[in-house]
Amino acid sequence: MVQKQLSAAGPGPEPKKRRRVGFSPADTGVEANECIKIYLVSSKEEVGFPEVPCVNPVDLNDFFDGDGKIYGYHGLKINVWINSISLHSYADITYKSTTNGDKGITDLKSALQNIFAETIVDNKDEFLKTFSTEKDFIRNMVSNGEVVHSGVIDGSRINAQVEPLDLQVLRMEIGSPNAGLLYSRLVPLVLLFVDGSNPIDVTDPDWHLYLLIQKKEHKEEPLYQILGFTAVYKFYRYPDRLRMRLSQILVLPSFQGKGFGSYLVEVVNKVATAENVYDLTVEEPSEKFQHIRTCIDINRLRAFDPIKPAIDSAVQTLTKGKLSKKAQTPRFTPPLNAIEKVRETLKINKKQFLKCWEILIYLALDPIDKYIEDYTSVITNHVRADILGKDIEAPKKQVVDVPTLFAAEASFVVFKSLNGEEAIQVDENKPDQEEQLKQLVEERIREIKLVAEKVSKLRI
């Protein structure tokens, strides 16, 4: 037996060995916006081609649970290719390594299917085949569609990249054959490129798709490609009219900035007029779309003779004197008969017409610099009224607490001040409110000038 030798100092406890504890670095994740790039292509040769520009979707972080980050991957890159002919998609996913940290590993396949649903193809070779096997998809889907317009529109400006004669706008009721399938393939584009939008209810027959199609000559049969579309809802207005509400509109990124959005809106305007609906409204328009819509409506209104006397009258009143120095500034709203004529003839609803009215007056003031102070007073009046939700010229009522021998919660005095004077109480936050009002007015004036500049150029 071998015994352990003891030191001269005698036996004693052995020193404890320290256990080394290693901590892996925390997984901070990567934002979806930083690692996902999306490409829209129309041929298999463009897939992977470095010169193809990526397109900018809305916030991709919204499609990933929690904080919008992807966890568990190092060096992650996701390139998504969308076939603009068949609307199929393929995701090329590469990464250096994975780490199963405290946040786990994000299920990329599931996350991407939440966006692309059945349009996503797992295999790249299968995706490349869709450019040939599915080349007639759009043509087959819209074969039963109603052609509501084809060719040019008077006054519209289409980029020379596409021949106007090759354009068609087809209408399909969502419940008609093929329309539901077609829209299901459009849904990923809606989610990616229409901010805050949700898919429409394909079981509701009152939805209609307006599809902007380009017919390109291609061997034996023409090749159909979707440039854009809009979803319009028809609903009842008592007692016997229908209204149209434009809910979604999208021009594919490759074709944006070329006049196709305006073209599509002008076609819908023509349909609304031809079918004599009550009016045409827009559901929560984005700032960019509202600008386009207003430019179109301004041009229509400037050519609408019945409202010209009302515009001339408003301009004549505004140019008479220093309105900004007066205690009360007139509202300069259009007369009721003008509002009704515009709605009945052009199908422009009251809210939109009031926005356009301000711009029509601005365009009629010559020189504008001479009258800009008074014009700003008018806009300030409008903005203040919009905030208060009522006409500021109306007498104001104020509720004031007063000393009382009765129950305090049941006792009050109502004062009515005339001419908008605040005779009783002064809001302590009024300076801040006035500054906010000033900023809103400046923003409104900026929007008016942008539209006025745009429509003035179009008339040259």
Annotation-wise, does 257 bind a ligand? yes
Residue 260 annotated as part of some ligand binding site: yes
Cis status of the peptide bond prior to 239, with omega within 30 of 0: yes
For the chain, how long is the longest CA-to-CA vector?
122
Q: Which residues contact 280 (CB under 8 A, 6 or more apart)?
A: 243, 244, 245, 246, 268, 269, 272, 347, 348, 349
The β-bridge partners of 248 are: 231
- Find out whether 256 is annotated in a ligand binding site: yes
Enclosing H/E stretch for 342 = helix 336-346
Q: Is 259 annotated as a binding residue?
A: yes
> Amino acid identity, residue 287?
E
Which tokens go with 220? 């034996």
What φ, ψ does residue 98 adopt, rounded to 5°?
A: -125, 155
261 marked among binding-site residues: yes
Quick check: is 442 catalytic?
no
Nearest-angstrom CA–CA distance, 348 and 455: 18
CA–centroid distance for 298 within its chain: 20
CA distance 111 to 237: 41
How far lies 223's CA from each of 136, 137, 143, 287, 316, in Å?
7, 9, 13, 34, 56
Of 34, 126, 146, 283, which residue is the catalytic one? 283
Residue with tokens 């509400």: 245
- At residue 125, what are phi and psi to the nearest 5 degrees? -60, -40
CA angle 225, 228, 233 (to 5 degrees): 125
Q: H or E stretch including 38?
A: strand 36-41
Could you list the residues known to form a binding site, using ranges.
256-262
Could you list the residues known to form a binding site for acetyl-CoA, using ranges.
256-262
Q: Name the residues annotated as catalytic.
A: 283
